[in-house]
Each structure stands twice: as structure tokens, then as C-alpha cells.
Chains A and B, each alone.
Chain A
Amino acid sequence: MSENKNLIEGATGPWEIVLGLEVHAQVTSNAKLFSGAATAFGAEPNAQVSLVDAAMPGMLPVINRYCVEQAVRTGLGLKAQINLTSRFDRKNYFYADLPQGYQISQFEHPIVGKGVITLDLADGVSREVGITRLHLEQDAGKSLHDQAPSLTFVDLNRSGVALMEIVSEPDMRSAEEAGAYLKKLRTILRYLGTCDGNMEEGSMRADVNVSVRKPGGPLGTRCEIKNVNSVRFVMQAIEYEARRQIDILEGGGKIDQETRLFDTAKGVTRTMRSKEEALDYRYFPDPDLLPLVLDEAWVEKIKADLPELPDEKKARLIEKMGLTPYDATVLVADQDVAAFYEAVAAGRDAKTAANWVIGDFMAHFNKSGQDLKDFTITAPKLGQLIDLITDGTLSTRLAKDVLEAMVASGKTAPEIVEEKGLRQVTDTGAIEAVIADIMAKNADKVAEYRGGKDKLFGFFVGQVMKAMGGKANPAALNDLLKQKLAG
């Protein structure tokens, strides 16, 4: 591992943060992990609860094959080992939103073993983070404490929803790396279609393990920050928690291993339960379920059908399309954007297409707040616009205006060019006529220019452009203007 540039300066010298993440990712599936109940977000409370989810007497879990397929797909996407035999265990604890009194999870024998994720860091640097394991488990329901003064309401819609718990090695060394890890994991899950990654809807949540140590020293005692639900909060929580631990250690104290919560309003972490209060979950194999045995050919079939993943796509864009690593990283971060880009770039200059997609197009698109598939500027429409630049109809400057008009009106670039007469003027005669007119009206300035005041060139360009409604071909205008002013 290369030298860590992310050390935090303390009173006693530099400290290194050591981070591992456990991400709970909701499996994209129409039905729950062990029941046929629906999983859609935002349903009326307790509208998506089967007899199994409510843990009625005598009810039994039956594994959802599609959820298993999704877990395998995710494992393959993380370049991880797929365990052909895995097992479900019961994690026993009492809570009002845990109807069975236990969560069905995989403790000793997870479905997916070791894998790896490549982080794309800000300076174009890549770094690998190990995946320890991925296992399938049930989500719990939701306790609502704010519906009545002395009562707690329970919504079991989430009860039994399939989660993948994805555990990383303690390989990250900064909040930035943890953020990059979450973003990259989310991108991979979205490419695979195995989790929608919507953290605000609770589809992805992270438990963050934080410890600090002197560089090269032994690992420190860690604290686990539970259930953080955005990339930003994860990064804030880490910054706060690392500083808290350093302050304790530098003050001569020691870190208690404990579970903490991140208070998003105050930006601080707080004790949730200490090690002494840690629950004994009494894990044991769930006798209602047989060991999960996968057919190797089935796994191979899933592997063969995997989509192109972000790292591969990025490599291809760099090698085959000649993009810079930065452009490629930006474009592959979202599968839809990457596909959009590739549609725009097809048969066109790859770099120009990348500039337009990453630049003006993204600015308009982000402002719209829409989904890419609903946005008025489709890939063919953006392609048309670029074609008009390529064939000289539009200058880059005009094209920006046209794009803006396209967003506003929903019309195509050729329609707008036609309507507004925005076709750029390359007819030297027409441009010369305007230049002559401007020079005549500004004889004093012409004299100044000729007297050595070069900076006035821009003034003439502006005047001519203005007079021509911005339609003059910039290169032609420059050449002609220089010629005429030179006398």
C-alpha cells in the first residue's frame, strides 16, 4: 500500500484513520426474501405484509430464488468468490419491529466471499479496497415513535425485505476514500440492477467502523457508527469520530469499543450501546431452511450475462475512444449517462461528444431535476446539434444558445436554427460589408487601433458579431477583421 497522504495532524503528531464499511443494500426484487409480499417504496403502512412477514404462528420462510440470483450477480460484479453452499442462520433479539424475534441472516457461511472494489479518487488515482463478504438477510420493520404521545406504531412493510450486507476490509484511510467507496459500490450495484442505491429511501445504509492509530502502529480500538444514510453523512461522521478518538487518545484516555449513532443535526456521534451492553444474538442455523446449494452452471450463466461494469467501461472509453481518465470516470459513474454518451459519440468525434455531454448538457440536465429518460434532450438530439457544429452550420458559441433553446422549447437543433435564422454566416462578402460599416462608424477607434492599441480588436469583433446577431463564423470574422484593420 502506498504512503498515506491522508494523515490527520494531532497535538502529538500525525494520526492515520482506519475505516471499514458494512453496507446494507436492499435487493432489487418485486418480492421479499422469504415471502411473496411486495417491496415497493412508499406504500401505506402495513399494506405489504404477508402472514410470514408478520410471523404468524406456523408460518415458514421460503427462499426467493430471484434474490439469491441478485446476490450472486452482485458477488460476481465485485469479482468475488461465490460460495456454492451457504446457510441461513437466525440472529435472535427482541424488538417490536422484528416480528419473528429473530432476523434470518447468514452468519458463518455467507453466499459470497472475498472480492474487490476499485476506488476512483479525485486526482484520477485508483485504489483497491477488499470486500470481505456479502450475505443475504431480512430487513426489520419500522417503529414509528412520533405518531402518538405514549404509543409506538409499527410498520412491517419492510419486514422481510431482502438485504445484501456487503462488508469491506478495513482498507480505507480517509473520509474521502469512504465516500468514494460508497459511490463506487452504488454505481456497481446500479449497473448490475441489484440495488437501486437510493440512500434517501433507505435502499442503502452504511455502518462505519472507525479507528485511529499512529502511522505504521498497531490497529486502534474501533467504534461502529450505525445506519448512516448518505455519503455526505458518512464522511462527516468519520471526520468527527476520528477527531474525537484522537482527542481522547492524546488526552491520555482510551477508546471504548462501542456502537455509536451519528446525529445528523448536530454533526456528532453519540454512544448507542457499549460493548458490555452488546447483545448476545444466539446465532444458530435456521432449521426452517435447508442449506442453500447453487448449481455451478447457473452461476456461470449469470456471469455470462453480466453487463459491462464501470471499470471495464472506463478502460474501454480510455483505450478505444481516446478519452481522458477524468472524462471516462465522470461518464461511467452513471450507467445511463454512459449509455447516453455512447449513443451521442457513435459516428462522431468522441472527445467533442464527451465535452458536450459532461459540459453544457450535464448543466442543463442537472438543472432539470428530471430522469435522463424523461429529459427533452435525447442522445439523437444532442448528436444533431454536434453535427451542426461539425458541418460548420453553428459555431460553438451559437450551439450553446441553440441547446438552451432546445431545452426551453423541446425543439430540435435544425428546427431552432431554421426558425431563428441562426445559421452562421461564412459568406466573406456579407461579413466584409458589416466590417466596413462598423469601421466607418468608429473611425476614431480604427485610428487608435492602427496607432498601436491592439486591445481594441476585441471591441471590433464584438461590434460585428452584435450587428450580425452572433451568426458570423468566428474564424472567418477574425481573419477578415485583421485584414481590414491592417488597412
Chain B
Amino acid sequence: MTIDLTRLTIAGARDALARGEFTAVELTDAALAAAERARPLNSLITETPELARKQAAASDARRAEGRAGKLDGIPLAVKDLYCTEGVLTTAGSHILDNFVPPYESTVTAQLFAEGAVMVGKANLDQFGMGGSNENSHFGPAVNPWRRRGDTTRLVPGGSSGGSAAAVAAGIALGSTATDTGGSIRQPAAFNGVTGLKPTYGRCSRWGIIAFASSLDQAGPIARDVRDCAIMLGAMAGHDPKDSTSVDRPVPDYEAGLEDGIKGLRIGVPREYRVDGMPAEIEKLWADGIAWARDAGAEIVDISLPHTKHALATYYIVAPAEASSNLARYDGVRYGLRVPGNDLNELYENTRAEGFGAEVRRRILIGTYVLSAGYYDAYYLKAQKVRTLLLRDFEQAFGRVDAILAPTTPGAAYGIGEKSNDPVAMYLGDVFTVPLNLAGLPGMSLPAGLSAEGLPLGLQVIGRAFDEGTVLKVGRALEKAAAFTGRPDVWW
């Protein structure tokens, strides 16, 4: 039988597997075939067909014994920032392109415990640093979408571009991703799929290669809101191995999805109306507001006055932490080693060759802002602004239950179009980074197409640990938007 993964959802596959319409092995074979066909998209750095088939066979055996887990037999792509035991884990970089971890990240271990099948490791900007996937040592993943009547290859966004492209192209039904400044939500928006960045501390960071420890958070990218709820349920939870993971129960995120949003108060932050925002983004946002109102929500104008400082703050905090987190890649114990005449030369040669330009740029920025004499002016001030940003949100959430905003200021762009302008690239994070700085959950769902026929995303922001409301609002908007767009298969 042929299974079209571009149409199938995790929930749909779960039910079909339960009904015996197809087996996990059949589903996995379809995914692997799709992956092979989609190699021009470069969404996977490593394909793991043998592992996937083994996992799928084991899944069918479990199901036969009546022991199927919540994700049993579901083919997933795993962002190559998650350490996977015995499987090459590169972080998209040259410095780790020979690194095979002897351990499994907590989140992937939990997914596998629920029966998930891994088809491969998804492409990304090196160490999660970037918004276009052009910073991957393995070449960029390519967006399955193209502009109407145009064959220009577009970026899939980043850093989880491979994760989003793999879902959009029907290689996997869902994927794991990470979000430090928008790395789940922006690629989800660019690829017409749904991505959820949970509250900081909701998922364990153990075994996920760190970019910026106080901002990084694992989350799912999937075809729709329900699938994100299903995946989050398996990914979330307290981990004693991560001191910043939070010990509170994981609710059944699927349970309240269809409750509707009647009576909910949804905030629209006036500061997100930035100068030069394209009309089609304005329109998308207005549509979202209208859909929410039509679904019975009360729309409330709110102010998040420190928003304009978020981007600058982010580009101090994230590089600062990164400069320290990436110090361990020194050529001494694992990964790339480029010899030198002495220890310093070993470091210099290894790190100069092993890290890409954007990673080096951020290490330099981070080292600078932490240096004696600059620390107070940059890092300390950024931490203070961060507190103010958090206060903005806390005050807003005294009045509203969720916040609605665009995910990005524009649609996907062509590969190479912005690669010489890092600042233009950073500006793409303007709507996403405030949540990371405040630790809040946010979701992007596809809500419309640009004039060029590219998907655009709406973002729902929630209170800390209130992913349930984010999902519920997302589900209501999803129904209203009735987004059915699919990329034409050109690969």
C-alpha cells in the first residue's frame, strides 16, 4: 500500500495503526522512501533507515502484545542537536562531524519509550545559531515550498530548518526541534507547519547540545496543533539531571484541545506593530484577531513596552552563554582536532576550522560582552532588561489569557539573499525572541499564504506552564484558518 505522509497526521497514523490499517514497518518504509526521494531538500544530515526499521518492527511486536505507547510506530525526525546513542550527532558543525554519543538525550529517550521511530537526524544551523539553515556545515536544508511560478530555492528557516522541512515534505510525521530565539516557531512558519516552544524548564535539556542555556528549550514541530500536543506530552517532564527542568505534572495536552476559546481574553500587543511590517503580515494578524473574536474570545489591546529592547538583549545574552558553552569544543577529548605546535595552537586551529563563520561571530560577541570592563554595560544591563521584559508579560497576563502576534515579519526568502547581512537576519527574530527571554511558551501555526504563495505563521503566546491554553487557542485559530496548503512536490 502507499501511504502519503504529507497528508497523514500523528493522530491519524496513531488511529490507523491501532485499527491495523497499516503496520509501523509499512509506515516507516513509506517515510524512508520519502526521505530518499527528498534528499535534494537536504533536510536530514544522517538518515537512520536500519535503526528505523528495527524500531518499527519492535513497535509492531509491542502492538501485537497490546503494549503500544503513545507514539508507537510514528516516524519522527530528530534535530541533530539532540544526542542520540550510537548515532552521529553533529550539531550541524564540522567540529562534531565525527561525534557519536554514547548516551541518549532525555527527550529522545522519552519519545522512544513511547514507541517513536527515528528516520534520521535533521539539519540545522550550526549549534542552533541562525535563522536560515545556511549556517549548516552540511549545506542548508531547502524549503519544500517555492514562490508561485518561481524555482528559486528558499531557506527553510532556522535553526530547526531541517526539522520543519522534513515534516512539510512528508519525510516524518513530526520532529523534535529546539528554540533559543525562535528556532522552532520561525521554521514552522516558513514551512507551513506547526511548532511549539514550551515554557523554559518544561522539557529536559539533558543531552541536547547547548547553545544558550537560559534560553534553549526543546519542543515539537508537527503537522497540526493536536500533533504538537501529542508530542509535547511525551517530551515534557521533570528530569533530575537538568537542574532547570521543573518538577510539575505534565497535563494531558490533547484533552482540552477542543474546548474552544469562548470567554478567553486574548491580548494584541501594540509594540509588535513594527515599522515597515509588510501589509500581508498585518492582514494575517488582523485575520487571526477576527478568528479569535468570532470564536468568542475577548480581544484586548495590551502593551509590552520593553519589546523594542528584546532583540538587542537577546543578542547579548545568547552569545554570552554560547561563548562559554562552546568552550568545551577544544579538540582535546572528542570531535575535530586540528593539531598545532602547542596547546594554544591546537585550540586556535581546531576552533577556527571547526566552527562556521556565524558561530565564530557569536563567540566573539559573547566573549566581548562578558569581558572585564564591558560586563556591566552589556551583560548585566541585558539581564536587567530581561527582568523588565518578563515584567511586561506578567502584567499583560494579569489582563489576558493568551497573546496573539505574527511569528515572523515576512515569509521564507531565497537561499543566499540575506547571508551577507547578519543584522537583517537577526531582525527576523523580532517577534520570537521576547518569549525566550521571558521563558514563556509560544506556538506558530500556519494561517495563510503570502502574495507569492508562501506560508505565513501566527504566534500564540501563553503564561508560563500554560501550554494547555496556547494549544487550545492554537486549535481554535487552526480551525478558523483552515489552512490546507501543501508544497508541490518538485524534488
List residues of chain A with CB under 8 Å of any chain B CB: 51, 54-63, 90, 92, 94-96, 99-102, 152, 154, 280, 282-284, 287-290
What are 21 contact pairs spanning A and B, CB under 8 A?
A: A51-B102, A54-B333, A55-B328, A55-B333, A56-B103, A57-B89, A57-B334, A58-B210, A59-B206, A59-B207, A60-B241, A60-B243, A63-B243, A94-B330, A99-B328, A101-B326, A101-B330, A282-B323, A282-B371, A284-B370, A284-B375
Q: B244–A288 contact, CB under 8 A?
A: yes
Q: How far is the CB of A259 from chain B (nearest CB, A)?
A: 17
A154 to B332, alpha carbons, bound, how many Å? 9
Q: Write the chain B residue with the least CB distance to A51.
A: B103
Q: How far is the CB of B155 from chain A (nearest CB, A)?
A: 26
Q: How far is the CB of B16 from chain A (nearest CB, A)?
A: 34
Q: How far is the CB of A401 from chain B (nearest CB, A)?
A: 63
14 new A-B contacts at CB < 8 Å, known A57-B210, A58-B83, A92-B370: A55-B333, A56-B334, A57-B99, A57-B209, A61-B243, A62-B241, A90-B324, A92-B324, A94-B344, A99-B328, A101-B326, A282-B371, A283-B370, A288-B243
Q: A282–B370 contact, CB under 8 A?
A: yes
Q: Give the number of A-B contacts (CB < 8 Å).
A: 99
Q: B89–A60 contact, CB under 8 A?
A: no
Interface string of B77-108 (1 = CB under 8 A from A): 00000110000010100001001011101000
Q: B103–A62 contact, CB under 8 A?
A: no
Residue of A51, A62, A283, A284 near B243 (CB, 8 A) is A62
B63 within 8 A of A: no
Q: Which residues of B contact A94 (CB under 8 A)?
A: 327, 330, 344, 347
Q: Which residues of A contact B323 (CB under 8 A)?
A: 92, 282
A352 to B103, alpha carbons, bound, how many Å? 64
List residues of chain B with CB under 8 Å of any chain A CB: 82-83, 89, 91, 96, 99, 101-103, 105, 205-210, 212-214, 240-244, 320-321, 323-324, 326-328, 330, 332-334, 343-344, 347, 367, 370-372, 375, 379
Q: A99–B206 contact, CB under 8 A?
A: no
Residue of B91, B206, B326, B327 near A60 (CB, 8 A) is B206
Q: Which residues of B contact A102 (CB under 8 A)?
A: 324, 327
Q: Which residues of A contact B82 (CB under 8 A)?
A: 58
Nearest first, the 10 A-B pairs at minimum CB distance are: A101-B327, A287-B214, A287-B213, A282-B370, A55-B328, A58-B207, A57-B209, A280-B372, A58-B83, A58-B209
Q: Write the chain A residue with the least CB distance to B83.
A: A58
Q: A57–B101 contact, CB under 8 A?
A: yes
A318 to B303, alpha carbons, bound, how many Å? 72
Q: How far is the CB of B218 from chain A (nearest CB, A)?
A: 11
Interface core residue of B206, B209, B328, B372 (most chain A CB under 10 Å): B328
Q: How far is the CB of A48 from chain B (nearest CB, A)?
A: 16
A285 to B344, alpha carbons, bound, how many Å? 26
Q: B379–A57 contact, CB under 8 A?
A: no
A58 to B104, alpha carbons, bound, how many Å? 10
A102 to B324, alpha carbons, bound, how many Å? 7
Q: B327–A92 contact, CB under 8 A?
A: yes
Q: A282–B367 contact, CB under 8 A?
A: yes
Q: Write the chain B residue with the least CB distance to A58.
A: B207
Q: Which residues of B contact A288 (CB under 8 A)?
A: 210, 213, 243-244
Residue of A58, A96, A282, A287 near B332 (CB, 8 A) is A96
Q: Which residues of A contact B240 (CB under 8 A)?
A: 62
A100 to B321, alpha carbons, bound, how many Å? 13
Q: A284–B328 contact, CB under 8 A?
A: no
Q: B244–A56 contact, CB under 8 A?
A: no
Q: Write the chain A residue with the least CB distance to B331.
A: A96
Q: Write the chain A residue with the least CB distance to B367.
A: A282
Q: B343–A60 contact, CB under 8 A?
A: no
Q: Which residues of B contact A152 (CB under 8 A)?
A: 343
Q: Which residues of A contact B327 (CB under 8 A)?
A: 92, 94, 100-102
Interface core residue of A90, A282, A288 (most chain B CB under 10 Å): A282
A96 to B342, alpha carbons, bound, how many Å? 11
Q: How far is the CB of B226 from chain A (nearest CB, A)?
A: 29
A60-B324 CB under 8 A given contacts A92-B370, A94-B347, A99-B332:
no
Q: B243–A57 contact, CB under 8 A?
A: no
Q: B243–A290 contact, CB under 8 A?
A: yes
Q: A282–B324 contact, CB under 8 A?
A: yes
A289 to B245, alpha carbons, bound, how many Å? 10
A101 to B321, alpha carbons, bound, how many Å? 12
A62 to B102, alpha carbons, bound, how many Å? 20
Q: A289–B330 contact, CB under 8 A?
A: no
Q: How far is the CB of B447 from chain A (nearest CB, A)?
A: 34
Interface core residue of B91, B214, B242, B330 (most chain A CB under 10 Å): B330
A100 to B328, alpha carbons, bound, how many Å? 5
Q: B208–A101 contact, CB under 8 A?
A: no
Q: How far is the CB of A419 from chain B (nearest CB, A)?
A: 63
A342 to B82, alpha carbons, bound, how many Å? 60
Interface core residue of B83, B243, B370, B372 (most chain A CB under 10 Å): B243
Q: Which residues of A contact B105 (CB under 8 A)?
A: 58
Q: A57–B333 contact, CB under 8 A?
A: no
A101 to B344, alpha carbons, bound, how many Å? 13
Q: B343–A58 contact, CB under 8 A?
A: no
A51 to B101, alpha carbons, bound, how many Å? 10
Q: Write the chain A residue with the least CB distance to B239.
A: A60
A59 to B332, alpha carbons, bound, how many Å? 17
Q: How far is the CB of B342 from chain A (nearest CB, A)?
A: 10
A284-B209 CB under 8 A given contacts A51-B103, A54-B333, A57-B89:
no
Q: Which residues of B contact A61 (CB under 8 A)?
A: 243
Q: B206–A58 contact, CB under 8 A?
A: yes
A230 to B335, alpha carbons, bound, how many Å? 39
Q: Which residues of B contact A95 (CB under 8 A)?
A: 343
Q: How far is the CB of A405 from chain B (nearest CB, A)?
A: 59
Q: Write the chain A residue with the least CB distance to B351.
A: A94
A283 to B373, alpha carbons, bound, how many Å? 12
A99 to B209, alpha carbons, bound, how many Å? 15
A284 to B84, alpha carbons, bound, how many Å? 30
Q: B205–A60 contact, CB under 8 A?
A: yes
A288 to B212, alpha carbons, bound, how many Å? 10
